[in-house]
């Protein structure tokens, strides 16, 4: 828990061959060592690093809800993710999910799902953590996302529970 009684969860996304037709992506959700809520999975839909980050956040909130947790602090190394939620999303919603230049928002469907999950949650805080800076929770979420990405390359993955592992 953080100082405001929010359960801390780390999320990350990974994508190999980002932007290419044969890209593979995964997400990791890390609540803590041996926590049954820890989760990873392959990315569905658009296969990009940003899509993986969004799916990680969606799954973190869903996992928290399953455990009747209503206050979470999502720690992520994705400035994109934090900017989406705290800066851009209110403007996009006001503009009918269009950017300032009038073009449609990329990842609109996933962002709308994330928005719905946030709206139906008691409280969601967002905190940036630097990538690869030896922040243990972020390193675990990163490892899980990369493994899920590898699973999506090799077989028809799905979601993997990480309660037996870190």
* 89 occurs within a structural domain: yes
* 161 occurs within a structural domain: no
* 146 occurs within a structural domain: yes
Residue with tokens 């800066």: 87
pLDDT at 57 over 90: yes
* 44 occurs within a structural domain: yes
pLDDT at 160 over 80: no
* 1 occurs within a structural domain: no
* 137 occurs within a structural domain: yes
Q: How many CB atoms lie within 10 A of CB 20?
A: 10
pLDDT-derived band of residue 152, with 50, 70 and 90 as boundaries? very low
Strand order in the sheet with 7-16: 123-128, 71-76, 7-16, 24-30, 39-42, 159-161
Task: Count structural domains, the chain.
Answer: 1
Length of the chain in terms of residues written: 166
SS3 41: strand
> 45 versus 91: which is more confidently predicted?
91
User: What rounded mean pLDDT belongs to the chain?
Assistant: 89
User: pLDDT per residue over 5-45, tens digit each?
Assistant: 999 999 999 999 888 888 999 999 999 999 999 999 999 77
pLDDT at 159 over 70: no
* 140 occurs within a structural domain: yes
- Per the structure, the complete domain to which residue 69 belongs is given by 7-156
* 105 occurs within a structural domain: yes
User: pLDDT per residue over 97-125, tens digit each?
Assistant: 999 999 999 999 999 999 999 999 999 99
- CATH number, position 41: 3.30.420.10
The C-alpha angle 65, 76, 40, rounded to 5 degrees, equals 55
Give the orientation angle of helix 49-66 with respect to helix 136-154, to 10 degrees.
110
pLDDT at 157 over 90: no
Give the pairing type, strands 123-128 and 71-76: parallel
- The strand pairing partners of 66, in sequence order, are none
SS3 50: helix
């Amino acid at each position: 828990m953080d100082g405001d009684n929010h359960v801390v969860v780390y999320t990350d996304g990974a994508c190999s061959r980002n932007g290419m037709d044969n890209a593979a992506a995964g997400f990791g959700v890390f609540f803590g060592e041996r926590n049954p809520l820890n989760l990873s999975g392959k990315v569905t839909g658009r296969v990009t690093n940003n899509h993986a980050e969004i799916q990680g956040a969606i799954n973190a909130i869903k996992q928290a809800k399953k455990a009747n947790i209503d206050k979470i602090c999502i720690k992520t190394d994705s400035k994109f993710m934090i900017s989406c939620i705290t800066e851009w999303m209110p403007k996009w919603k006001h503009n009918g999910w269009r950017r300032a230049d009038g073009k449609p928002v990329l990842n609109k469907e996933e962002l709308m799902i994330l928005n719905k999950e946030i709206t139906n949650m008691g409280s969601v805080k967002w905190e940036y953590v630097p990538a690869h800076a030896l922040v243990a929770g972020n390193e675990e979420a990163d490892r899980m996302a990369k493994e899920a990405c590898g699973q999506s390359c090799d077989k028809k993955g799905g979601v993997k529970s990480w309660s037996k592992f870190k």
